[in-house]
Structure 1
């Protein structure tokens, strides 16, 4: 989307900061639950000792179920949001979702102090994950549609904020581990953090309507009227310039019918013969009307495929497979290994991949190389499965050293963030400005589809290891 020459300036980069915080806030639920695997596995301690031997009493497959139940509601509610967003006001969708996410984070924090048997805790946690990601889906879809109305750089800023959410969660977990307090106190401090983060996100959204730069771009009616006026002035100017006297070398007729006002101009520009320009209220309304969802999809289907495939590959092994990798250097490092080499490395590089798109946008959106590079990321799946994942039943361990796992994770995350951000920012450019919000909502649905497919694939892939 091109920035209008008469647009106000984003003073103090406040709009950019707000969208960065909004991007961060959309992925706080997923990242804080995912990064807290040590806490949840501690509450679901299913190992008991019998005759000096560790016996697994119940296997909950927490990583896989958490991933699946995070992404299925994201898919369902994003689909509903894509088709029903015009029936519910933007303020209700965004502010309302943030309020419910905040309440669910508070519930999770309170449950830390509530003793509960393992089965009930697992059920309550899964229900919380389902509902918090349902509201997250509505929030994310609405915000992608909203940011699509602004210049392209704000889409990259928003995606960069999403990338930082994981880093934020990973650092919070590292600080909780390093605090040296008991597990309950550490978990309490950890889950208070997203409560504060979600509250700040809500305040950032409420600030947007008060900023002149945001008002200018988010006033959709102003955009449509301005665009239509420019087109009418251009066509009218062409007609008037070709007929300075109103009658020379042509004729002007007026024939309104059934309430439709039509101004017809016939001119003789030269050997090509007479040309006519029609300006009607019906045409103006047609130009202002939004395209159907199917029409928008036909224009953005390549970007929709790319974002789906990227997340299918990413979620098929992260975190279900990667969180079970074990260090080759046991000892005190073992406490930090997963938090650092799995979550922190992934999220830092994912954030960097998203952020670098503000400077580099290669390949171009029209290039066939773009989907080819996206498909090539599938090579990361076997590479990560051959790392030191424990326990394992079928595949051998090929890469024992921590450094190999860390490097593969870094490249895996960097490419994921880069291609996701490019896909999401390219899509609104492929449609007219009036359809940018629909394109953003549709892309969020396909993003969620990729996450759900990846989550479903994580079950057989983990079993294959």
Structure 2
């Protein structure tokens, strides 16, 4: 739950950032009708969606691999800012298509280039934020994951609304034949105006997301200086000393900083470089002294809890690392890796070993989902024997999956599976519970093979379930379990790692690997179901 106003402040800004990371792809999906019209004179007029998907996923995976490898020395603030700005530029480029009436090969080149830029930018943003939220309260990771689900839910709702409000195909054909006063097709003009509105709203949202990150980075790193009021601003030392006494307060602060540095090798290196010791007088200096430029990194209002302060200390350095931030693993890099220029491999591998169960859980959860959704689930048709029959079943199934995915991510605030509750050997440990849920999801995924589909050949498994309501319910459960398992693993996994920041980024990479594997597994699933 969001216990403090500060956590609510963080939560909603991470929701905005999560939505921004998937905004580009979702806007491409909702604008498919426009792209089909723009590419009508190119070879990709009928299969551009597959090309978009392959290009986006391959570029994203390659960029994410690079960002993960270089993550131990990364400047997260720069990566996120540049990523948001690049995505904003990509949207502006796409906006030129409906605004300037560009079509054909020129439109295709602009669209593919903008999609590639957005994929690279998303990889940079996600890798950094996955690492940052691993150091903050769990609500931040849940907010970022929920924001991604919000993007899908909004787009699915928009598609369903368009189905019920747009004219039918005959009216579209008539509009395509009608000409306005300038001799242009009425259908073309409406389509371009609608698409331009989509991308204009996306540009505004990306600008808002960039503002949200600037606020987050500023507030997590420092509090605005210049206010000399003792009631509104004081250092951690003052906050502890006022409540427990000067000597004990000093000890508490030093213990707090020591604990944080044990979990954050990069932060420890920076503090040693700057002050000689992680618990130097930097944390006990006067607010009015000559070292104000240093004490500001631990300044916060008196209503902040010690837990939140620890998170702020960690994030301050992670967003703006120094040159000594490569000391993240007690193990030295083997000489043969160093000779190949792969110094970071040992660091990444050491952290991966600590959280490998959670990485596999994330990858398996995404594989299960993408294996059946949407290749198999969207091919399921309403059965004449179903009571009741539901129209526009495919559109409804997209909406219910995304709603379930969002609620699953949101429910991690109440349905928790924390690593600290049981030892790793216990049958109730977090990895075991998540593996049990993933095991049940295999059965759930297989159940979709029992529904009728628009198969072109006789399926290996005959349809035995004829209920639209049950089908939509199972789709909702698939989405809910996907969101809950992935978010729980992302929140719980870094607790088992020494380098929590890198652990969060590795788990984010595992999610991407799961998406790729799911796309591969979907081909035999389609073959078994008889779908061409």
Residues 31-40 or 95-104, more deviating: 31-40
1:276 — aligned with what?
none
* Aligned CA-pair RMSD: 3.8
* Aligned counterpart in structure 1 of residue 438 of structure 2, from 343, 357, 374: 374
CA distance in 2, matches of 1:430, 1:418: 19
2:492 — aligned with what?
426
Contact 1:179–1:186 under 8 Å retained in 2: no
Please state if 1:28 is matched with 2:36: no
* Aligned counterpart in structure 2 of residue 338 of structure 1, from 375, 381, 394: 394
Contact 1:23–1:162 under 8 Å retained in 2: yes
Relative to structure 1, the CA distance from residue 444 to residue 11 in structure 2 (aligned partners, 3 Å threshold; closer, same or farther) is: closer
CA distance in 1, matches of 2:45, 2:442: 29
Please state if 1:158 is matched with 2:158: no
For residues 273-299 of structure 1, give each alpha carbon's deviation from its aligned partner in whole angstroms, at most 9, with x where no partner exists.
Answer: xxxxxxxxxxxxx9x942222221111
Q: What is the deviation of 1:352?
A: 0.1
CA distance in 1, matches of 2:17, 2:442: 30
Relative to structure 1, the CA distance from residue 379 to residue 373 in structure 2 (aligned partners, 3 Å threshold; closer, same or farther) is: same
* Aligned counterpart in structure 2 of residue 392 of structure 1, from 456, 459, 464: 456
For residues 21-66 of structure 1, give each alpha carbon's deviation from its aligned partner in whole angstroms, at most 9, with x where no partner exists.
Answer: 11221121233334444555566679xxxxxxxxxx9885555444
Contact 2:27–2:155 under 8 Å retained in 1: yes
CA distance in 2, matches of 1:390, 1:43: 29
2:363 — aligned with what?
308
User: Which structure has more strand as a fraction of its residues?
Assistant: 1
1:290 — aligned with what?
328
CA distance in 2, matches of 1:159, 1:133: 18
Relative to structure 1, the CA distance from residue 214 to residue 459 in structure 2 (aligned partners, 3 Å threshold; closer, same or farther) is: farther
Q: What is the deviation of 1:78?
A: 1.5
Matches within 5 A, 1:25-424: 25-40=20-35, 60-62=46-48, 64-112=50-98, 114=101, 116-117=103-104, 125-177=111-163, 180=166, 182-211=190-219, 215=222, 230=258, 289-291=327-329, 292-327=347-382, 337-339=393-395, 341-362=396-417, 365-390=429-454, 392-395=456-459, 396-424=462-490
For residues 293-312 of structure 1, give each alpha carbon's deviation from its aligned partner in whole angstroms, at most 9, with x where no partner exists.
Answer: 22211110000001001111
- The alignment of Structure 1 onto Structure 2 pairs a total of residues equal to 384
CA distance in 2, matches of 1:436, 1:15: 19
CA distance in 2, matches of 1:35, 1:391: 26
Higher RCO (CA 8 Å, separation ≥ 6 residues): 1
Q: Which residues of structure 2 form unaligned runs of 5+? A: 168-189, 224-235, 237-252, 261-276, 278-323, 330-346, 385-389, 420-428
Q: What is the deviation of 1:449?
A: 0.7
Q: Normalization by structure 1: what TM-score?
A: 0.71
Relative to structure 1, the CA distance from residue 172 to residue 443 in structure 2 (aligned partners, 3 Å threshold; closer, same or farther) is: same
Q: Normalization by structure 2: what TM-score?
A: 0.63
1:279 — aligned with what?
none
Contact 1:167–1:347 under 8 Å retained in 2: yes
Q: What is the deviation of 1:442?
A: 0.9
